[in-house]
Amino acid sequence: MIEATDALDVVRAGALTTVQDAGRVGWAHLGVPRAGALDAPARRLANRLVGNPVDAAVLETTITGCAVRPGRLVVAVVGGAPCRVTVDGRPVAWGTPVRVPAGAVLDAGPAARGLRSYLAFGGGLLPEPVLGSRSTDVLSGLGPAPLREGDVLPLGHGPSRPAGIDAAPWPGAPAELVLPLYLGPRHTWFTNEALRTLETATYRVSSHSNRIGLRTEGPPLKRARTGELPSEGMVLGAVQVPPDGCPVVFLDDHPTTGGYPVVGVVHETALAGAAQAVPGTRVRFVRAG
């Protein structure tokens, strides 16, 4: 039973709000995806600003934001995608720590730019960990379910005042997503013309993108070989090419195996921008190795 003073009540869940930390690293051999915050730098910075360890669990919203009510005074910050932030209807600063009194409603509105905002609370969120992580995995269903109105989340104890730094620069949503690409392991399944297309064409972020993968729209990549591969291991950042020929960049909730050929891999350090790239954003793949 969660004490009311150690709880965070969900007033408005939003389109897709989940609990996320650094994810479940080291379980792919058992078929368990990594999960975790898609915009890892935003998650780390939000935690730093409220005095938490950088891997503490936060809320990740999608497009429409969310609203929560703490049972006691808590220091919070809303970062990631810029949005209107209020406490009991009064505007407060986005991207900097604020004190939210017990029983007050902290509301993170719809994203003004980008897709995903991050709400960090002093002491972190403490739902029961699964395989070492508190993250929601939308593919496997591990971890806490996506938030619904009326849900109650356990809230850790943190400082009653912000950390020493009270503001920091936040990266903006990309006007163009440039992804450095390391070819392989299945680039030989595509024609030379297709590989040139991949490196020179401009793609667009598809509205069908999600936490599993960033889907693109643009010139299809033609194969040099027919047939399909047996399922093989998939890594974060793998660029898989399904039958329609349009590349899909695997994100944190990606499956751990797949049978469509992987033309290349984007290093995970370049994927934070994918978390904030709205549908229609230009995407370019740049040969890195």
My answer on whether 9 and 138 are in the same domain is yes
pLDDT for 114: 97
> Domain with 219 in it: what CATH number?
2.40.100.10
- Whether 45 maps to a domain, the answer reads yes
Indicate if 134 and 210 belong to the same structural domain. Answer: no
Q: Which long-range contacts (CB under 8 A, 24 or more apart) does 226-231 make?
A: 228/259, 228/260, 229/186, 229/259, 229/260, 229/261, 230/259, 231/257, 231/258, 231/259
**Which of 27-31, 203-207, 219-223 has the weakest average pLDDT?**
27-31
In a domain, 162, yes or no: no
The reported pLDDT for the residue numbered 3 is 72
107-130 pLDDT per residue, tens:
999 999 999 999 999 999 999 999
Q: Are residues 276 and 198 in the same domain?
A: yes
Size of the chain, expressed as the number of residues it contains: 289
Asked if the structure places residue 247 within a domain, the reply is yes
In a domain, 161, yes or no: no
Of 115-129, 160-174, 206-220, where does mean pLDDT reach its minimum? Answer: 160-174
Q: How far apart are CA 274 and CA 39, in angstroms?
A: 8
Query: Could you write out the DSSP letters of every residue in 14-72?
Result: -SS-EEESS--TT-GGGT------SSHHHHHHHHHHTT--TTS-EEE--SS-EEEEESS
Residues 13 and 146 in one domain: yes
d(CA 118, CA 42): 7
Helical segments of 66-134, H only: none
Alpha-carbon span 96 to 192, nearest angstrom: 49
Residue 1 has pLDDT above 70, yes or no: no
Give me the pLDDT at residue 261, please: 97
How much is the pLDDT for 186?
96
Query: What is the pLDDT averaged over residues 94-119?
Result: 97
- Decide: helix, strand or coil at residue 275: helix
Q: Are residues 42 and 150 in the same domain?
A: yes
Looking at the structure, do residues 191 and 251 belong to the same domain, yes or no? yes
Rounded Cα gap, residues 245 and 129, in angstroms: 38
- At 62, the pLDDT band (50, 70, 90 cuts) reads very high
The total domain count for the chain is 2
pLDDT band, residue 201 (cuts 50/70/90): very high
Instruction: Check pLDDT > 70 for residue 211.
Output: yes
Tell me whether residue 1 is exposed, middle or buried, using C-beta atoms within 10 angstroms of its C-beta: 0 to 12, 13 to 18, 19 or more.
Answer: exposed
Both tokens of residue 214?
């960033």
pLDDT at 163 over 70: no
* Average pLDDT over the chain, rounded to an integer: 94
Does residue 148 sit in the same domain as residue 195? no
The pLDDT of residue 239:
98
Residues sharing a CB contact under 8 Å with residue 228, sequence separation 6 or more, in sequence order: 259, 260
The H-or-E segment that residue 266 falls in is strand 262-266
Residue 60: closest CA among 2, 17, 104: 17
What is the model's pTM? 0.95
Q: What is the pLDDT of residue 167?
A: 63
Question: Do residue 227 and residue 272 come from a single domain?
Answer: yes
The answer to whether residues 79 and 194 belong to one domain is no
Burial class (CB in 10 A: 0-12, 13-18, 19+), 180: middle
SS3 content of the chain, % helix, strand, coil (to 5): 10, 30, 55
Tens digit of each residue's pLDDT (9 = 90 or more) over 215-258: 999 999 999 998 888 999 999 999 999 999 999 999 999 999 99
126 and 227 part of one domain? no
In the chain, the percentage of residues whose pLDDT exceeds 70 is 96
Domain residues for the domain of 129 are: 4-154
Domain assignment present for 168: no
How many of the other CB atoms lie within 10 Å of CB of 251?
23
Check whether residue 35 and residue 131 sit in a common domain. yes
- Residue 127 placed within a domain: yes
168 band by pLDDT with thresholds 50, 70 and 90? confident
Tell me what pLDDT residue 127 has: 97
Residue 256 belongs to a domain? yes
Task: Kindly state whether residues 130 and 73 are assigned to the same domain.
Answer: yes
